[in-house]
Amino acid sequence: MIETFQERYENRHEYAKQWKEKTGGKVLGYFCTYVPEEICYAAGVLPVRILGSHEPQDVTEPHIFAMYCPFCRDCLAQGLQGRYDYLDGIMIAQSCLHIRQAFTSWDLHVPTDWSYFLPMPHNVQSPRAVPYLVEELKVFKKALEVWTGNTITDDDLKRGIELVNRDRQLMKQVYELRKREEPPLSGLESMYMVVSSQLSDKEDHARLVEEALKELEDRTLGRPIGQRLIILGSEDDDHEFINMVESCGSTFVIDDHCTGTRYFWDEVSLNGGDPLTAIATRYVNRVPCPTKDWPLRTRLPHILGLAKDWDATGAVILQQKFCDPHELDIPAIKSALEEQGLTTLFLELDVTVPIGQFKTRVEAFLEILDEDDLF
């Protein structure tokens, strides 16, 4: 049943279209995981994350200068090629400049009824961030109400919070299982689980994860686990790459990605308070994207913690080509991990990755990690 998540990932468009037909609701395409999905669900809108398709394309050059990350170009290409023509609206929450260009060019050239820019604060370590975001969420809520014609009550918000939290809790249970000596699922499978959550109705996804948990309870991969690896860096749903690494005799047991833990790690803790404040607090305090991780690099201790708790021996540090926010953290992260005794491998992702060349690096990296008895 684990394959269901891969199917969902592969048939994301069909799924969203069916959801529309079934519910008659609006589908909102979003560009960054800082978008507060709780409020969308409260408004009865289905938020789906816009992702690339990892194919060479020739439609974005007139719109995005080639020095911006391949991910934002791949995303825009989907829109320009009409693959998301079923969307009722698009939105982005302020994060990096790169993906913002995909959003603004989409806004200019792909006909969409509704588009929204949420100025998510960058200074998340400042006490001023939450109060500011609360006000912005009020504005956002109002905009959603005008767009959908539904008023959003506090109960709706609470429902939205519970819905998304539920899925987060379940995903965390799945990740707990990956701590086992014999993780019941591969890094690729868990990537499909997380990303399919970004592409599905949460209620429906949560149901699938619940079932999956039953199956995972006594499942094994039926292959040697090999080296236990942590994978971290910018957006990465490149299944071909992840699969290649795992087929070279290793298993990803944990990650720090916005297509992984960073998406679902932190819950909204409502405990009787004002829903919007609770939501704002969650997004300000969540595991940050490097672009918001300053003046302190809070991701460092977090990543080291994950590597330790999931018992990783090596780290694959990935980054979308030209992703400055990550590039600015990598020297620090690399040395921190190495101090903790992990071997690291750094690779740059493009729209498509040169599997052949990467394979040599990956194998050499794994050779460093094992077979001391050959020397």
5-11: which pairs have CB atoms within 8 A and are 24 or more residues apart?
5/189, 5/192, 5/193, 5/196, 5/208, 5/212, 6/189, 6/192, 6/196, 8/192, 8/196, 8/199, 8/200, 8/205, 8/208, 9/192, 9/195, 9/196, 9/199, 9/237, 9/239
Q: How far is the CB of 362 from other proteins (least distance, A)?
A: 9
Give whichever of 239 and 321 is closer to other proteins, judged by the CB atom.
321
Q: How far is the CB of 67 from other proteins (least distance, A)?
A: 5
Give whichever of 149 and 354 is closer to other proteins, judged by the CB atom.
354
Give whichever of 6 and 57 is closer to other proteins, judged by the CB atom.
57
Q: How far is the CB of 319 from other proteins (least distance, A)?
A: 9
CA 372, 373, 375 angle in degrees (round to 5)?
A: 75
CA distance 19 to 12: 11
Q: Write out the H or E segment, with its range, that includes residue 337.
A: helix 330-339
Q: Indicate the SS3 state at residue 146.
A: helix
Q: How far is the CB of 19 from other proteins (least distance, A)?
A: 30
Give whichever of 272 and 295 is closer to other proteins, judged by the CB atom.
295
Q: How far is the CB of 157 from other proteins (least distance, A)?
A: 19
Instruction: Judge whether 202 and 166 are in contact, CB under 8 Å.
Output: yes
Give whichever of 266 and 324 is closer to other proteins, judged by the CB atom.
324
Q: How far is the CB of 5 from other proteins (least distance, A)?
A: 25
CA distance 66 to 62: 10
Give whichever of 167 and 348 is closer to other proteins, judged by the CB atom.
348
